[in-house]
Structure 1
Amino acid sequence: MKIAIIGAGGVGGYFGAKLVKAGHDVHFIARGEHLKAIQNNGLVVKSILGDFRVANLRATEKITEIDQPDLIILGVKAWQIKEIREDIRKVLHKDTVILPLQNGVLAADELSEKIDKRNVLGGLCRIISKIESPGVIHHIGVTPTIVFGELDKSITERISGIDRIFKSAGIESTISEDIEADVWRKFILICVSGLLAVSETTYGELRETKETRQLMIGLLNEIFLLSKKAGVKIESDFVGKAVAFIDTFPPSSTSSLTRDVWDQKPSEIEYQNGSVVKMGEKHGIETPINKFVYSCILPRELKARGLR
């Protein structure tokens, strides 16, 4: 199977390197100094599960240079999906499968606006990782996991085959029977990233301070209530489980959105707390904490995108 990793950052770089290490045919899409480092020296992965390096990698900047991959794993930021989907469409064959691992709940829908829906899966990943320096991926926390499934909730041979590939590479993977619900579960969790950004805290600082812990729980509850209104089937005790999971994160860790906001880079705020606010208005659900987080970050987001 020919695999393309579009976006070789903390997510795509880690999972792509694992697939290469297991002997799979992988082509990376990256940019800038990171791309040069991959082309010249391969990828170094520093991981809490053990460091490793893969060399002699195929990497390019242009999606259109990939020749009809069988599986495309998308590791780009959520807001970049709209920018690249036309180029993705150009390199597909009729059975190519696209697996988006973006934060938020819109990736599959945005892909399907330009690409035949039968080529698109639903997916998510769990990992705390980042580009430490060009060509170096640092896996900081959480057991790296990919959860994916058919959008119509069917169990097909193609997803079983992809699952076997992931497991052959030592990647923990799960075939979801309801990928919409699983994507929403992660969406609820990841929206804490914006609260980290505005409170200028790590996960440890946020959860260990009574006042910010209460804000965190309130933010999660708002999105949980929104999910119920939207008809997503999530268990009634999910918020408690989410808080317990966040309590396991390394105390000094943050998230990619948090770091992007702090570094004055474009972020996924529109696809996280911004989406909560917009869907809340659509469904008549009050989301005051998410609205506060979104509103605080928005001026910096506009500056980062050169719009102010």
Structure 2
Amino acid sequence: MKIAIFGAGSTGCYLAGQLCLSGFDVSLICRPAMKQTILANNGITISDYQGLLKTVMPQAMITDIEQAPTAYAAFDVIFVTLKCHQISSIANTLIAITHSNSSIIFMQNGLGSFETIKDALSHCHLLQGITPFNVLQQASGRFHKGTEGVFTFQQNNHTQTIQAAMQAQGFGCDFYQDITPVIYGKLLLNLNNALNAIADLPIKQQLSQRACRCQLAGAMKEWLAVCKAADIKLHQFTKVKPQWLPVILSLPDMLFNLLAKQMLDIDPQARSSMWEDIQAKRKTEIEYINGAVVRLGEQYGIKTPVNSAIVTSIHQLEQSI
């Protein structure tokens, strides 16, 4: 099975590391700077908050995607880990590097990007997936998983093979036939991405402050109200049901620390991917996360002032860079 990671940033490199260690032929489609970082450090190093530390070199690193169809055979599986706003422009490239039995797995946060491209790729199998944990790029080509969770994919023959190989190496991997409740449930947790960027603090430190938690609780309440109006059920990622998360987040610090130990069982330095984008002066995915809450709120007649304010704040940070 020939696998490509298209748009290999922090999450893509972490996924590539796990796939390489699971015995797959993995190529990265990445920026020249990422290739240089990996070569300079003799491979991709993946680590996590529980002590994992392994280094592996991918089969190939492609920086000129226009040469990929002639220089490499078509890929059996492509994981697309680009940002949401980059998805709509890559259909022709994906057609050129796939075959009729290829699986393309879109791993974007938020809502809306998949719909911009799916009609153009009817020649192969299209799936979606999520990364329900935080990955931060560190020095020396190291990609660190700072929170709990495992890669989650929509189910087909390719992802079943990948799951078996990853689990054999001790890596968790989940899959579902119906991925929609999972994606909508993940969005509830992703609402903190922007708040973490605004707070400019490690996630653990941010969640230790009640004022920050109450902002997140307000954003979550709005998304839960939208989902109720749209009759959308959310997958449960935490020990408590999604509806209870805003209640727990709003508790005084002493009670929160007592009841939410698992929520705080994360790497002390973990930060959100949106914080990383702001620091790197990159465009964020705010319109596909908190912005999606606002748009669906308008559609279903639900007011979303908290998420609207968050979107405005992130756009101000983007403009300031």
Measured after TM superposition, the shift of residue 101 of structure 1 is 1.5
Aligned equivalent of 2:218 = 218
- 1:8-51 deviation digits (Å, cap 9, x = unpaired): 22211111112212321111111122212334632222333321
> CA contact under 8 A between 1:38 and 1:59: conserved in structure 2?
no
Which amino acid in structure 2 is aligned with residue 52 of structure 1?
Answer: K
Task: Tell me how far 1:5 sits from its aligned partner.
Answer: 1.0
**Contact residue 108 and residue 121 of structure 1 kept, 8 A:** no
Structure 1 contact 81–107 (Cα < 8 Å) conserved: yes
1:123-272, aligned counterparts within 5 Å? Answer: 123-133=129-139, 136-149=141-154, 156-234=156-234, 237-240=241-244, 244=260, 246-272=263-289
Identify the residue that residue 46 of structure 1 maps to in structure 2.
47
Counterpart-to-counterpart distance in 1, 2:48 and 2:19: 15
Gaps of 5+ in 1: 151-155
Residue in 2 aligned with 1:32?
Answer: 32
Aligned residue type for 1:293? I
Aligned to 2:254: none
Are residues 251 and 138 of structure 1, via their aligned partners in 2, closer, same or farther at CA, if it must alter by over 3 Å?
same
TM-score by length of 1: 0.86
Q: Which amino acid aligns with 1:186?
A: K
Deviation at 1:302, TM superposition (A): 4.5
Matches within 5 A, 1:67-82: 67-82=73-88
Q: Residues 203 and 246 of structure 1 are in contact (CA less than 8 Å); yes or no, is this contact kept in structure 2?
A: no
CA, structure 1 residues 285+56, in 2 after alignment: closer, same or farther (shift >3 Å)? Answer: closer
1:58 to 60, 69, 75: 60
Residues 1:276 and 2:293 are matched in the alignment: yes
Q: Work out whether 1:113 is the aligned partner of 2:110.
A: no
Question: What secondary structure is seen at the aligned counterpart in 2 of 1:286?
Answer: coil
Q: Distance in 1 between matches of 2:65 and 2:295?
A: 32
Encode CA deviations 1:99-155: one digit per residue, 9 max, x unaligned: 11111123432330321185211210123212224x6133141245111225xxxxx
SS of the aligned residue for 2:150 comes to strand
In the alignment, the residues of structure 2 paired with residue 2 and residue 235 of structure 1 have an alpha-carbon distance, to the nearest angstrom, of 31
Contact 1:39 1:59 in 2 (8 A): no
Q: By how many angstroms is 1:229 displaced?
A: 2.5
Q: Deviations over 1:254-307 (max 9, x none)?
A: 201023224432111111112211221122111111000001121333465xxx
CA contact (8 A) 1:77 1:102 kept: yes
**Matches of 2:58 and 2:274, distance apart in 1:** 31
**Amino-acid identity (%):** 24
What secondary structure, in the 3-state scheme, does the structure 1 residue paired with 2:271 have? coil
Q: Displaced runs of 4+ in structure 1, greater than 6 A?
A: none
Asked whether the equivalents of residues 136 and 271 of structure 2 are also in contact (C-alpha less than 8 Å), the reply is no
* Rounded Cα–Cα distance in structure 1 between residues aligned with 2:195 and 2:77: 35
Matched, 1:290 2:296: no
1:166 shift after superposition: 3.1
Contact 2:29/2:62 (<8 A) preserved? yes
Distance 1:170 1:15, change over 3 A: farther
Q: Which one-letter code corresponds to 1:19 in the other structure?
A: L
Letter in structure 2 aligned against 1:53 = T
Q: 1:22 to 1:198 in 2, by over 3 A?
A: closer
Q: Which residue of 1 aligns with 2:257?
A: none
8 A contact 1:111–1:120 mirrored in 2:
no
Which residue type is aligned with residue 77 of structure 2?
L
Is the alpha carbon distance of 1:212 and 1:37 closer, same or farther for their aligned partners in structure 2, counting shifts above 3 Å?
closer
How far does the alpha carbon of each residue in 1:148-205 deviate from its partner, in whole angstroms, 9 at most, with x for none?
225xxxxx44442332233244331112143100011111101111112223333233
Cα distance in 2 for residues equivalent to 1:56 and 1:6 = 13
Choose 92-101 or 200-209, whichever is displaced more: 200-209
Tell me the amino acid that sits aligned with residue 108 of structure 1: F
- d(CA) in 2 for partners of 1:301, 1:100: 25
- Give the number of aligned pairs: 298
Distance in 2 of aligned mates of 1:106 and 1:278:
11
